[in-house]
Amino acid sequence: MPAQTVYLLADTTTFAVLCDACLASREGSLAARHRAAQVEGSLRRDVDIGFRSCRRGHRILLKRVRVAGVGSRGFAA
């Protein structure tokens, strides 16, 4: 399975996502896979790329997206 990528808006510093690889796995119950898939963390505003791992060790790539003229809520400024 290719690496999962999560895109964060310019003002976003915290995130909570589910690991796609954990959810696609057939090991354990659905509830156990969902618990293992939960990934939370933060990325400083001055950092554009980061990595996190889920409890099972799957790597998740974090990329900051900077869009000219768009505010943090997705509306033109």
In which residue are the tokens 């768009």 written? 70
Its domain, for residue 11, covers 4-65
Residues 17-57: tens digit of each pLDDT: 999 999 998 888 889 888 889 999 999 999 999 999 999 99
State how far the Cα of 19 lies from the Cα of 56, in Å rounded to an integer. 9
75 occurs within a structural domain: no
The pairs formed by 17-20 with CB atoms below 8 angstroms and a separation of 24 or more are 17/60, 19/54, 19/56, 19/58, 19/60
23 occurs within a structural domain: yes
72 occurs within a structural domain: no
Quote the pLDDT of residue 73. Answer: 55
Quote the pLDDT of residue 76. Answer: 41
Which tokens in the block code for residue 69? 């003229």
Quote the pLDDT of residue 28. Answer: 85
74 occurs within a structural domain: no
Rounded to two decimals, the pTM is: 0.75
70 occurs within a structural domain: no
Count the domains in the chain. 1
